[in-house]
Chains A and B, each alone.
Chain A
Amino acid sequence: MAEPMGFYTDTTVCIGCKACEVACKEWNQLPATNGGRNTLSGDSYDNTRRLDGIHWRHVKFVEQFDAERRQGRWLMMSDVCKHCVRAGCLEVCPTGAIIRTEFDTVVIQSDVCNGCRDCIGACPFGVIDINPVSGTAQKCTLCYDRMRAGMTPACAQACPTASINFGTIRDLKQKAQARVEQLHGRGERGAYLYGADEKMLGGLNSFYLLVDKPEVYGLPPDPKLPSRNLTPGSLWSALGAVVIGVVGLVSLRGRRDEHV
Protein backbone atom coordinates (compact mmCIF):
# COMPACT_ATOMS: atom_id res chain seq x y z
CA MET A 1 0.00 0.00 0.00
CA ALA A 2 1.14 3.50 -0.81
CA GLU A 3 1.66 5.88 2.08
CA PRO A 4 -1.59 7.33 3.52
CA MET A 5 -2.45 10.59 1.77
CA GLY A 6 -4.81 13.36 2.76
CA PHE A 7 -5.66 17.01 3.23
CA TYR A 8 -4.65 19.43 5.96
CA THR A 9 -6.83 22.52 5.76
CA ASP A 10 -5.53 25.62 7.52
CA THR A 11 -8.69 27.67 8.00
CA THR A 12 -6.74 30.74 9.20
CA VAL A 13 -5.50 31.49 5.67
CA CYS A 14 -8.72 30.68 3.80
CA ILE A 15 -10.01 33.80 2.01
CA GLY A 16 -13.33 32.31 0.89
CA CYS A 17 -12.58 32.56 -2.84
CA LYS A 18 -14.24 29.19 -3.57
CA ALA A 19 -11.60 28.29 -6.17
CA CYS A 20 -11.57 24.82 -4.55
CA GLU A 21 -15.31 24.41 -5.12
CA VAL A 22 -14.99 25.43 -8.76
CA ALA A 23 -11.93 23.27 -9.41
CA CYS A 24 -13.66 20.28 -7.81
CA LYS A 25 -16.80 20.74 -9.90
CA GLU A 26 -14.78 21.20 -13.09
CA TRP A 27 -12.53 18.19 -12.63
CA ASN A 28 -15.22 15.83 -11.41
CA GLN A 29 -17.78 17.12 -13.95
CA LEU A 30 -20.40 17.77 -11.28
CA PRO A 31 -23.63 19.40 -12.47
CA ALA A 32 -24.82 22.85 -11.42
CA THR A 33 -27.48 23.20 -8.72
CA ASN A 34 -30.97 23.32 -10.17
CA GLY A 35 -29.66 23.52 -13.74
CA GLY A 36 -27.74 26.72 -12.94
CA ARG A 37 -30.80 28.53 -11.59
CA ASN A 38 -29.46 28.70 -8.04
CA THR A 39 -30.96 31.13 -5.57
CA LEU A 40 -29.12 33.16 -2.94
CA SER A 41 -29.21 31.62 0.51
CA GLY A 42 -29.06 34.87 2.47
CA ASP A 43 -26.45 33.20 4.68
CA SER A 44 -23.35 35.38 4.27
CA TYR A 45 -21.49 34.57 1.04
CA ASP A 46 -22.44 30.92 1.25
CA ASN A 47 -24.75 29.91 -1.58
CA THR A 48 -23.45 26.35 -1.77
CA ARG A 49 -25.16 25.69 1.58
CA ARG A 50 -23.79 22.22 2.31
CA LEU A 51 -21.83 19.26 1.05
CA ASP A 52 -23.91 16.85 -1.04
CA GLY A 53 -23.80 14.63 -4.11
CA ILE A 54 -22.92 17.48 -6.46
CA HIS A 55 -20.91 19.64 -4.03
CA TRP A 56 -17.81 17.81 -2.81
CA ARG A 57 -16.16 20.99 -1.52
CA HIS A 58 -18.06 23.63 0.46
CA VAL A 59 -16.58 26.89 1.72
CA LYS A 60 -18.27 27.84 4.98
CA PHE A 61 -18.55 31.49 6.06
CA VAL A 62 -18.90 32.20 9.78
CA GLU A 63 -19.45 35.86 10.70
CA GLN A 64 -18.58 36.64 14.33
CA PHE A 65 -19.48 40.29 14.85
CA ASP A 66 -20.96 42.33 17.68
CA ALA A 67 -24.39 43.89 17.36
CA GLU A 68 -23.06 47.12 15.79
CA ARG A 69 -20.81 45.15 13.46
CA ARG A 70 -17.83 47.24 14.62
CA GLN A 71 -15.70 44.45 16.03
CA GLY A 72 -15.43 40.87 14.99
CA ARG A 73 -13.93 38.43 12.55
CA TRP A 74 -14.63 36.14 9.66
CA LEU A 75 -14.03 32.44 9.92
CA MET A 76 -13.82 30.64 6.60
CA MET A 77 -13.37 26.96 6.09
CA SER A 78 -13.32 24.76 3.01
CA ASP A 79 -15.20 21.64 4.11
CA VAL A 80 -14.77 18.25 2.47
CA CYS A 81 -15.03 14.50 3.19
CA LYS A 82 -12.83 13.66 6.18
CA HIS A 83 -11.65 10.29 4.76
CA CYS A 84 -11.90 8.84 8.29
CA VAL A 85 -9.50 6.03 9.14
CA ARG A 86 -12.49 4.32 10.76
CA ALA A 87 -15.27 5.38 8.40
CA GLY A 88 -18.95 5.11 9.35
CA CYS A 89 -20.10 5.15 5.70
CA LEU A 90 -17.82 2.25 4.83
CA GLU A 91 -19.05 0.30 7.85
CA VAL A 92 -22.74 0.35 6.91
CA CYS A 93 -22.53 0.17 3.08
CA PRO A 94 -24.43 -3.04 2.20
CA THR A 95 -23.21 -3.33 -1.41
CA GLY A 96 -19.47 -2.97 -0.86
CA ALA A 97 -19.56 0.15 -3.05
CA ILE A 98 -17.59 2.11 -0.45
CA ILE A 99 -13.96 1.03 -0.31
CA ARG A 100 -10.68 2.05 1.26
CA THR A 101 -8.08 2.77 -1.40
CA GLU A 102 -4.35 2.14 -1.45
CA PHE A 103 -3.94 5.81 -0.38
CA ASP A 104 -5.98 5.15 2.82
CA THR A 105 -8.78 7.30 1.43
CA VAL A 106 -12.49 6.38 1.26
CA VAL A 107 -14.11 6.18 -2.18
CA ILE A 108 -17.66 5.33 -3.31
CA GLN A 109 -17.67 3.24 -6.50
CA SER A 110 -20.51 4.74 -8.48
CA ASP A 111 -20.98 1.65 -10.64
CA VAL A 112 -21.61 -0.51 -7.56
CA CYS A 113 -23.73 1.83 -5.38
CA ASN A 114 -27.48 1.22 -5.69
CA GLY A 115 -28.63 4.34 -3.88
CA CYS A 116 -29.85 2.78 -0.60
CA ARG A 117 -28.62 5.91 1.24
CA ASP A 118 -27.56 4.14 4.44
CA CYS A 119 -24.14 5.89 4.21
CA ILE A 120 -25.79 9.34 4.20
CA GLY A 121 -27.21 8.86 7.69
CA ALA A 122 -24.12 7.00 8.89
CA CYS A 123 -21.60 9.74 8.05
CA PRO A 124 -20.87 11.64 11.29
CA PHE A 125 -20.16 14.81 9.30
CA GLY A 126 -23.10 14.94 6.87
CA VAL A 127 -20.78 14.77 3.87
CA ILE A 128 -22.53 12.31 1.53
CA ASP A 129 -25.69 12.71 -0.51
CA ILE A 130 -27.28 11.42 -3.70
CA ASN A 131 -26.09 12.81 -7.02
CA PRO A 132 -29.35 13.18 -8.96
CA VAL A 133 -27.59 12.48 -12.27
CA SER A 134 -26.26 9.05 -11.29
CA GLY A 135 -28.88 8.19 -8.67
CA THR A 136 -26.04 7.02 -6.43
CA ALA A 137 -24.41 8.37 -3.27
CA GLN A 138 -21.39 10.53 -4.03
CA LYS A 139 -18.73 12.54 -2.24
CA CYS A 140 -15.11 13.67 -2.51
CA THR A 141 -12.80 10.91 -3.83
CA LEU A 142 -9.71 12.90 -2.86
CA CYS A 143 -9.28 12.93 -6.67
CA TYR A 144 -8.44 9.24 -6.75
CA ASP A 145 -7.94 9.43 -10.52
CA ARG A 146 -5.47 12.33 -10.21
CA MET A 147 -3.62 10.67 -7.34
CA ARG A 148 -3.18 7.49 -9.40
CA ALA A 149 -1.44 9.67 -11.97
CA GLY A 150 0.76 11.30 -9.33
CA MET A 151 -1.16 14.58 -9.46
CA THR A 152 -2.43 16.85 -6.69
CA PRO A 153 -6.23 16.86 -6.11
CA ALA A 154 -7.96 19.64 -8.06
CA CYS A 155 -9.01 21.69 -5.01
CA ALA A 156 -5.54 21.74 -3.42
CA GLN A 157 -4.03 22.59 -6.82
CA ALA A 158 -6.39 25.55 -7.21
CA CYS A 159 -6.17 26.92 -3.65
CA PRO A 160 -4.33 30.28 -3.96
CA THR A 161 -3.41 30.66 -0.26
CA ALA A 162 -2.28 27.12 0.56
CA SER A 163 -5.18 26.78 2.95
CA ILE A 164 -5.74 23.33 1.42
CA ASN A 165 -2.57 21.28 1.74
CA PHE A 166 -2.20 17.88 0.12
CA GLY A 167 0.46 15.31 0.93
CA THR A 168 1.34 12.30 3.03
CA ILE A 169 -0.42 12.26 6.39
CA ARG A 170 2.97 12.17 8.14
CA ASP A 171 4.21 15.34 6.42
CA LEU A 172 0.88 17.11 6.82
CA LYS A 173 0.81 16.45 10.58
CA GLN A 174 4.30 17.90 11.00
CA LYS A 175 3.40 20.94 8.95
CA ALA A 176 0.15 21.45 10.85
CA GLN A 177 1.81 21.10 14.26
CA ALA A 178 4.44 23.68 13.32
CA ARG A 179 1.69 26.06 12.20
CA VAL A 180 -0.21 25.63 15.49
CA GLU A 181 2.95 26.47 17.43
CA GLN A 182 3.61 29.47 15.21
CA LEU A 183 0.05 30.77 15.82
CA HIS A 184 0.33 30.16 19.56
CA GLY A 185 3.63 32.12 19.54
CA ARG A 186 1.89 35.02 17.80
CA GLY A 187 -0.87 35.16 20.38
CA GLU A 188 -3.62 33.11 18.69
CA ARG A 189 -3.95 30.76 21.66
CA GLY A 190 -7.18 29.20 20.37
CA ALA A 191 -5.52 27.47 17.41
CA TYR A 192 -5.74 23.67 17.47
CA LEU A 193 -5.97 20.69 15.14
CA TYR A 194 -9.32 18.94 14.60
CA GLY A 195 -9.08 15.25 13.74
CA ALA A 196 -5.30 15.03 13.43
CA ASP A 197 -4.86 12.42 16.16
CA GLU A 198 -6.23 8.91 16.34
CA LYS A 199 -8.74 9.67 19.06
CA MET A 200 -11.23 10.94 16.50
CA LEU A 201 -12.43 7.95 14.41
CA GLY A 202 -8.91 6.57 14.21
CA GLY A 203 -7.80 9.89 12.73
CA LEU A 204 -9.23 12.01 9.93
CA ASN A 205 -7.15 11.86 6.76
CA SER A 206 -8.60 15.27 6.03
CA PHE A 207 -7.98 17.29 9.20
CA TYR A 208 -8.31 20.95 10.07
CA LEU A 209 -6.64 23.80 11.91
CA LEU A 210 -9.40 25.68 13.72
CA VAL A 211 -9.45 28.70 16.04
CA ASP A 212 -12.88 28.21 17.62
CA LYS A 213 -15.01 25.33 18.88
CA PRO A 214 -15.87 22.69 16.23
CA GLU A 215 -19.59 23.50 16.53
CA VAL A 216 -18.91 27.06 15.32
CA TYR A 217 -17.71 25.59 12.02
CA GLY A 218 -20.62 23.14 11.89
CA LEU A 219 -18.38 20.23 12.85
CA PRO A 220 -19.47 17.63 15.45
CA PRO A 221 -17.55 17.93 18.74
CA ASP A 222 -17.53 14.18 19.31
CA PRO A 223 -18.14 12.20 16.08
CA LYS A 224 -18.70 8.47 16.61
CA LEU A 225 -18.98 5.29 14.59
CA PRO A 226 -22.51 4.02 13.85
CA SER A 227 -21.51 0.49 14.91
CA ARG A 228 -21.38 1.61 18.57
CA ASN A 229 -25.12 0.82 18.73
CA LEU A 230 -25.00 -2.54 16.96
CA THR A 231 -24.42 -4.90 19.89
CA PRO A 232 -26.58 -3.13 22.52
CA GLY A 233 -29.37 -2.59 19.96
CA SER A 234 -29.31 -6.26 18.97
CA LEU A 235 -29.27 -7.44 22.59
CA TRP A 236 -32.28 -5.28 23.54
CA SER A 237 -34.13 -6.65 20.49
CA ALA A 238 -33.28 -10.23 21.50
CA LEU A 239 -34.51 -9.53 25.02
CA GLY A 240 -37.73 -8.13 23.54
CA ALA A 241 -38.12 -11.28 21.45
CA VAL A 242 -37.71 -13.51 24.52
CA VAL A 243 -40.27 -11.47 26.49
CA ILE A 244 -42.80 -11.51 23.65
CA GLY A 245 -42.22 -15.23 23.15
CA VAL A 246 -42.81 -16.01 26.83
CA VAL A 247 -45.89 -13.79 27.02
CA GLY A 248 -47.26 -15.47 23.88
CA LEU A 249 -46.59 -18.91 25.31
CA VAL A 250 -48.36 -18.08 28.56
CA SER A 251 -51.31 -16.43 26.77
CA LEU A 252 -51.87 -19.40 24.49
CA ARG A 253 -51.15 -22.21 26.92
CA GLY A 254 -52.23 -20.84 30.24
CA ARG A 255 -55.95 -20.50 29.65
CA ARG A 256 -58.69 -22.38 31.34
CA ASP A 257 -60.71 -24.78 29.25
CA GLU A 258 -63.17 -22.78 27.27
CA HIS A 259 -66.10 -23.94 25.25
CA VAL A 260 -65.80 -22.81 21.72
Chain B
Amino acid sequence: MSSTFFTEPPHWRWLIVLYFFIGGLAGGCYFLAALIDLVGRRTDRPFARLGYLIAFPAVVVCGILLIADLGRPERFWHMLLQSQTWRPMLKSYSPMSVGAWGLLIFSGFAFLAFLGALGDNDRRPRYALLRPPSLLGILLTALGGLAAFFLASYTGVLLAVTNRPIWSDTTLLGAVFLVSSASTSIALLVLLGSRRVLAVGSLRALARFDTIVLVLELIALVALVVSLGSVARAWLNAWGALLVLGVVGLGIVVPLVLHSRARTPLSAAARAAAVLVLFGGFLLRVVIVLSSEAI
Protein backbone atom coordinates (compact mmCIF):
# COMPACT_ATOMS: atom_id res chain seq x y z
CA MET B 1 0.00 0.00 0.00
CA SER B 2 1.22 3.50 -0.80
CA SER B 3 2.51 5.34 2.27
CA THR B 4 0.13 8.17 1.36
CA PHE B 5 -2.74 6.16 2.86
CA PHE B 6 -1.33 6.71 6.38
CA THR B 7 -2.03 10.45 6.33
CA GLU B 8 -4.97 12.65 7.36
CA PRO B 9 -7.13 14.86 5.10
CA PRO B 10 -6.72 18.66 5.41
CA HIS B 11 -10.49 19.33 5.28
CA TRP B 12 -10.35 21.16 1.96
CA ARG B 13 -13.94 20.94 0.80
CA TRP B 14 -16.51 22.97 -1.17
CA LEU B 15 -14.90 26.40 -0.76
CA ILE B 16 -11.66 24.96 -2.14
CA VAL B 17 -13.46 23.06 -4.92
CA LEU B 18 -15.16 26.33 -5.91
CA TYR B 19 -11.84 28.19 -5.71
CA PHE B 20 -10.16 25.66 -7.97
CA PHE B 21 -13.00 25.99 -10.51
CA ILE B 22 -13.37 29.78 -10.43
CA GLY B 23 -9.59 30.28 -10.23
CA GLY B 24 -9.26 28.11 -13.34
CA LEU B 25 -11.85 30.27 -15.11
CA ALA B 26 -10.13 33.50 -14.01
CA GLY B 27 -6.75 32.32 -15.28
CA GLY B 28 -8.17 30.70 -18.40
CA CYS B 29 -10.33 33.67 -19.40
CA TYR B 30 -7.43 36.09 -18.93
CA PHE B 31 -5.10 33.85 -20.93
CA LEU B 32 -7.62 33.54 -23.77
CA ALA B 33 -8.24 37.27 -23.77
CA ALA B 34 -4.48 37.92 -23.82
CA LEU B 35 -4.00 35.46 -26.68
CA ILE B 36 -6.80 37.10 -28.68
CA ASP B 37 -5.41 40.57 -27.93
CA LEU B 38 -1.89 39.58 -28.96
CA VAL B 39 -2.44 37.37 -32.01
CA GLY B 40 -6.17 37.47 -32.83
CA ARG B 41 -7.94 39.54 -35.41
CA ARG B 42 -9.56 42.89 -34.85
CA THR B 43 -12.99 41.26 -35.09
CA ASP B 44 -12.07 38.93 -32.20
CA ARG B 45 -11.52 41.79 -29.77
CA PRO B 46 -14.99 41.72 -28.21
CA PHE B 47 -14.08 38.25 -26.92
CA ALA B 48 -10.87 39.55 -25.36
CA ARG B 49 -12.94 42.27 -23.65
CA LEU B 50 -15.34 39.62 -22.39
CA GLY B 51 -12.44 37.53 -21.03
CA TYR B 52 -11.00 40.45 -19.08
CA LEU B 53 -14.44 41.40 -17.76
CA ILE B 54 -14.77 37.85 -16.35
CA ALA B 55 -11.20 37.41 -15.06
CA PHE B 56 -11.01 40.22 -12.52
CA PRO B 57 -14.36 39.67 -10.74
CA ALA B 58 -13.58 35.94 -10.73
CA VAL B 59 -10.21 36.44 -9.05
CA VAL B 60 -11.82 38.70 -6.43
CA VAL B 61 -14.25 35.87 -5.65
CA CYS B 62 -11.21 33.53 -5.40
CA GLY B 63 -9.63 35.72 -2.74
CA ILE B 64 -12.83 35.82 -0.74
CA LEU B 65 -13.24 32.01 -0.95
CA LEU B 66 -9.66 31.40 0.20
CA ILE B 67 -9.88 33.81 3.12
CA ALA B 68 -13.23 32.37 4.19
CA ASP B 69 -11.73 28.88 4.18
CA LEU B 70 -8.96 29.74 6.68
CA GLY B 71 -9.28 28.66 10.30
CA ARG B 72 -8.31 32.25 11.22
CA PRO B 73 -9.45 34.43 8.30
CA GLU B 74 -8.24 37.66 9.93
CA ARG B 75 -4.68 36.34 9.61
CA PHE B 76 -4.82 35.81 5.83
CA TRP B 77 -2.05 38.38 5.39
CA HIS B 78 0.39 36.09 7.25
CA MET B 79 0.77 34.38 3.86
CA LEU B 80 2.29 37.56 2.42
CA LEU B 81 3.98 39.32 5.34
CA GLN B 82 5.74 37.78 8.33
CA SER B 83 3.48 38.74 11.20
CA GLN B 84 6.33 39.51 13.64
CA THR B 85 8.72 41.40 11.39
CA TRP B 86 6.50 42.68 8.53
CA ARG B 87 9.05 41.34 6.06
CA PRO B 88 7.74 39.61 2.91
CA MET B 89 6.82 35.95 3.52
CA LEU B 90 7.80 33.83 0.54
CA LYS B 91 8.95 30.21 0.34
CA SER B 92 9.84 29.21 -3.20
CA TYR B 93 9.36 25.50 -2.37
CA SER B 94 5.87 25.90 -0.87
CA PRO B 95 3.22 25.99 -3.62
CA MET B 96 0.75 27.69 -1.27
CA SER B 97 3.25 30.43 -0.44
CA VAL B 98 4.13 31.01 -4.11
CA GLY B 99 0.43 30.66 -4.95
CA ALA B 100 -0.57 33.44 -2.53
CA TRP B 101 1.86 35.80 -4.27
CA GLY B 102 0.85 34.50 -7.68
CA LEU B 103 -2.80 35.22 -6.92
CA LEU B 104 -1.95 38.73 -5.74
CA ILE B 105 0.19 39.50 -8.80
CA PHE B 106 -2.39 38.04 -11.17
CA SER B 107 -5.08 40.17 -9.48
CA GLY B 108 -3.02 43.26 -10.37
CA PHE B 109 -2.79 42.30 -14.04
CA ALA B 110 -6.46 41.30 -14.09
CA PHE B 111 -7.46 44.65 -12.56
CA LEU B 112 -5.53 46.67 -15.15
CA ALA B 113 -6.97 44.57 -17.98
CA PHE B 114 -10.44 44.98 -16.46
CA LEU B 115 -10.01 48.77 -16.56
CA GLY B 116 -8.81 48.50 -20.15
CA ALA B 117 -11.82 46.39 -21.07
CA LEU B 118 -14.26 48.77 -19.32
CA GLY B 119 -12.78 51.69 -21.20
CA ASP B 120 -13.03 49.83 -24.51
CA ASN B 121 -16.33 51.20 -25.75
CA ASP B 122 -17.11 53.23 -28.80
CA ARG B 123 -18.62 56.24 -27.13
CA ARG B 124 -15.90 57.20 -24.63
CA PRO B 125 -12.82 55.03 -25.11
CA ARG B 126 -10.45 55.18 -22.09
CA TYR B 127 -7.42 53.34 -20.75
CA ALA B 128 -6.47 52.18 -24.28
CA LEU B 129 -2.86 52.30 -23.09
CA LEU B 130 -3.48 49.23 -20.93
CA ARG B 131 -4.20 46.93 -23.87
CA PRO B 132 -2.42 46.05 -27.12
CA PRO B 133 -1.48 47.47 -29.57
CA SER B 134 0.22 49.93 -27.16
CA LEU B 135 3.69 48.80 -26.09
CA LEU B 136 2.74 48.93 -22.40
CA GLY B 137 -0.40 46.98 -23.22
CA ILE B 138 1.55 44.27 -25.02
CA LEU B 139 3.97 43.96 -22.08
CA LEU B 140 1.18 43.85 -19.47
CA THR B 141 -0.82 41.34 -21.48
CA ALA B 142 2.14 39.00 -22.02
CA LEU B 143 3.20 39.05 -18.35
CA GLY B 144 -0.40 38.77 -17.19
CA GLY B 145 -0.83 35.78 -19.49
CA LEU B 146 2.06 34.03 -17.73
CA ALA B 147 0.52 34.81 -14.34
CA ALA B 148 -2.77 33.44 -15.65
CA PHE B 149 -1.11 30.16 -16.63
CA PHE B 150 0.38 29.98 -13.16
CA LEU B 151 -2.99 30.55 -11.46
CA ALA B 152 -4.67 27.90 -13.61
CA SER B 153 -2.13 25.18 -12.80
CA TYR B 154 -0.44 25.82 -9.44
CA THR B 155 -3.44 24.43 -7.55
CA GLY B 156 -2.76 20.99 -9.04
CA VAL B 157 0.91 21.23 -8.05
CA LEU B 158 -0.19 22.31 -4.56
CA LEU B 159 -2.25 19.14 -4.21
CA ALA B 160 0.68 17.04 -5.46
CA VAL B 161 3.06 18.64 -2.94
CA THR B 162 1.35 16.95 0.03
CA ASN B 163 1.35 13.36 1.17
CA ARG B 164 -2.31 12.62 0.50
CA PRO B 165 -3.48 9.60 -1.52
CA ILE B 166 -4.29 10.34 -5.20
CA TRP B 167 -3.05 13.97 -4.98
CA SER B 168 0.57 13.16 -4.21
CA ASP B 169 0.62 9.83 -6.06
CA THR B 170 0.81 11.64 -9.41
CA THR B 171 2.64 14.69 -10.74
CA LEU B 172 0.11 15.42 -13.50
CA LEU B 173 -2.61 17.29 -11.56
CA GLY B 174 -1.20 20.72 -12.44
CA ALA B 175 -1.26 19.92 -16.15
CA VAL B 176 -4.76 18.40 -15.90
CA PHE B 177 -6.12 21.49 -14.10
CA LEU B 178 -4.46 23.74 -16.67
CA VAL B 179 -5.99 21.97 -19.66
CA SER B 180 -9.35 21.87 -17.91
CA SER B 181 -9.18 25.59 -17.13
CA ALA B 182 -8.58 26.24 -20.84
CA SER B 183 -11.54 24.09 -21.93
CA THR B 184 -13.94 25.57 -19.34
CA SER B 185 -12.85 29.14 -20.10
CA ILE B 186 -13.33 28.72 -23.85
CA ALA B 187 -16.75 27.22 -23.11
CA LEU B 188 -17.67 30.21 -20.94
CA LEU B 189 -16.58 32.71 -23.60
CA VAL B 190 -18.48 30.79 -26.30
CA LEU B 191 -21.59 30.63 -24.11
CA LEU B 192 -21.60 34.34 -23.17
CA GLY B 193 -20.36 35.41 -26.61
CA SER B 194 -23.07 33.51 -28.47
CA ARG B 195 -25.75 35.13 -26.33
CA ARG B 196 -24.68 38.53 -27.52
CA VAL B 197 -24.10 37.30 -31.08
CA LEU B 198 -20.51 38.49 -31.28
CA ALA B 199 -18.44 37.70 -34.37
CA VAL B 200 -19.34 34.28 -35.75
CA GLY B 201 -15.85 33.76 -37.19
CA SER B 202 -14.31 34.22 -33.77
CA LEU B 203 -16.83 31.82 -32.25
CA ARG B 204 -15.93 29.24 -34.86
CA ALA B 205 -12.22 29.59 -34.08
CA LEU B 206 -12.91 29.26 -30.36
CA ALA B 207 -15.08 26.17 -30.92
CA ARG B 208 -12.25 24.58 -32.91
CA PHE B 209 -9.82 25.48 -30.11
CA ASP B 210 -12.19 23.90 -27.57
CA THR B 211 -12.42 20.68 -29.58
CA ILE B 212 -8.64 20.23 -29.57
CA VAL B 213 -8.38 21.16 -25.89
CA LEU B 214 -11.09 18.63 -24.99
CA VAL B 215 -9.13 15.90 -26.78
CA LEU B 216 -6.01 17.01 -24.89
CA GLU B 217 -7.98 16.91 -21.63
CA LEU B 218 -9.08 13.36 -22.35
CA ILE B 219 -5.46 12.34 -22.99
CA ALA B 220 -4.33 14.13 -19.81
CA LEU B 221 -7.00 12.36 -17.74
CA VAL B 222 -6.01 8.93 -19.09
CA ALA B 223 -2.37 9.74 -18.33
CA LEU B 224 -3.41 10.82 -14.83
CA VAL B 225 -5.12 7.49 -14.10
CA VAL B 226 -2.18 5.53 -15.56
CA SER B 227 0.32 7.56 -13.48
CA LEU B 228 -1.58 6.68 -10.30
CA GLY B 229 -0.74 3.01 -10.79
CA SER B 230 -2.24 0.80 -8.07
CA VAL B 231 -3.53 3.88 -6.20
CA ALA B 232 -6.11 4.29 -9.01
CA ARG B 233 -7.99 1.45 -7.27
CA ALA B 234 -9.07 4.12 -4.75
CA TRP B 235 -11.44 5.28 -7.51
CA LEU B 236 -13.22 1.92 -7.79
CA ASN B 237 -16.27 3.49 -6.15
CA ALA B 238 -18.81 6.27 -6.69
CA TRP B 239 -16.01 8.82 -7.22
CA GLY B 240 -14.61 6.77 -10.09
CA ALA B 241 -18.09 6.46 -11.58
CA LEU B 242 -18.50 10.23 -11.34
CA LEU B 243 -15.13 10.69 -13.03
CA VAL B 244 -15.94 8.36 -15.92
CA LEU B 245 -19.60 9.26 -16.46
CA GLY B 246 -19.63 12.89 -15.34
CA VAL B 247 -16.21 14.32 -16.13
CA VAL B 248 -15.27 12.20 -19.17
CA GLY B 249 -18.71 11.23 -20.51
CA LEU B 250 -20.83 14.35 -19.98
CA GLY B 251 -17.96 16.83 -19.78
CA ILE B 252 -15.76 15.71 -22.68
CA VAL B 253 -17.21 12.98 -24.94
CA VAL B 254 -20.75 14.40 -25.31
CA PRO B 255 -19.46 17.95 -26.00
CA LEU B 256 -17.07 16.53 -28.62
CA VAL B 257 -19.98 14.76 -30.34
CA LEU B 258 -22.08 17.94 -30.12
CA HIS B 259 -19.23 19.99 -31.59
CA SER B 260 -19.01 17.65 -34.56
CA ARG B 261 -22.75 17.96 -35.14
CA ALA B 262 -23.19 21.68 -34.52
CA ARG B 263 -23.65 23.41 -37.87
CA THR B 264 -22.98 26.90 -36.54
CA PRO B 265 -21.39 28.05 -33.31
CA LEU B 266 -24.66 29.82 -32.53
CA SER B 267 -26.69 26.61 -32.55
CA ALA B 268 -28.30 25.10 -29.48
CA ALA B 269 -25.95 22.11 -29.76
CA ALA B 270 -22.89 24.37 -29.46
CA ARG B 271 -24.35 26.08 -26.42
CA ALA B 272 -25.28 22.77 -24.82
CA ALA B 273 -21.71 21.57 -25.39
CA ALA B 274 -20.37 24.68 -23.63
CA VAL B 275 -22.66 24.16 -20.62
CA LEU B 276 -21.58 20.51 -20.37
CA VAL B 277 -17.87 21.40 -20.57
CA LEU B 278 -18.31 23.84 -17.69
CA PHE B 279 -20.23 21.22 -15.70
CA GLY B 280 -17.55 18.59 -16.40
CA GLY B 281 -14.76 20.97 -15.35
CA PHE B 282 -16.52 21.61 -12.05
CA LEU B 283 -17.07 17.88 -11.49
CA LEU B 284 -13.37 17.23 -12.17
CA ARG B 285 -12.41 19.46 -9.21
CA VAL B 286 -15.14 17.86 -7.08
CA VAL B 287 -13.82 14.35 -7.78
CA ILE B 288 -10.11 15.20 -7.38
CA VAL B 289 -10.54 17.14 -4.13
CA LEU B 290 -13.32 15.25 -2.38
CA SER B 291 -12.31 11.69 -3.35
CA SER B 292 -8.98 12.14 -1.55
CA GLU B 293 -10.66 13.95 1.35
CA ALA B 294 -12.90 10.91 1.79
CA ILE B 295 -9.94 8.54 2.32
Contacts and interface: CB of A to CB of B under 8 A. Distances in A.
A94 B40 contact: no
Interface in A235-260: 236-237, 239-241, 243-245, 247-249, 251-253, 255, 258-260
A219 B93 CA distance: 26
Contacts of B178: 237, 240-241, 244
B201 A258 contact: yes
Contacts of B82: 96
Nearest to A219: B6
Contacts of B160: 229-230, 233
Contact of A240 (B4, B78, B174): B174
B163 A123 contact: yes
Interface stretch (A38-46, A125-133, A176-184): A125-133
Interface size range of chain A in the complex = 35 or more
Interface in B64-109: 69-73, 75-76, 78-79, 82-84, 89, 91, 93-97, 99-100
Nearest to A223: B3
Given A120-B9, A260-B199, A112 B174 contact: no
A13 B182 CA distance: 58
A121 B164 contact: yes
A249 B71 CA distance: 42
A224 B163 contact: yes
B71 A232 contact: no
25 contacts: A94-B96, A94-B99, A96-B82, A112-B83, A114-B76, A114-B78, A118-B162, A120-B10, A120-B11, A121-B162, A123-B8, A126-B6, A226-B162, A227-B161, A229-B157, A229-B171, A230-B95, A233-B172, A241-B153, A244-B182, A252-B36, A252-B41, A252-B209, A259-B201, A260-B201
Interface of A: 50, 52, 88, 91-97, 111-118, 120-130, 134-137, 215, 218-224, 226-227, 229-230, 232-234, 236-237, 239-241, 243-245, 247-249, 251-253, 255, 258-260
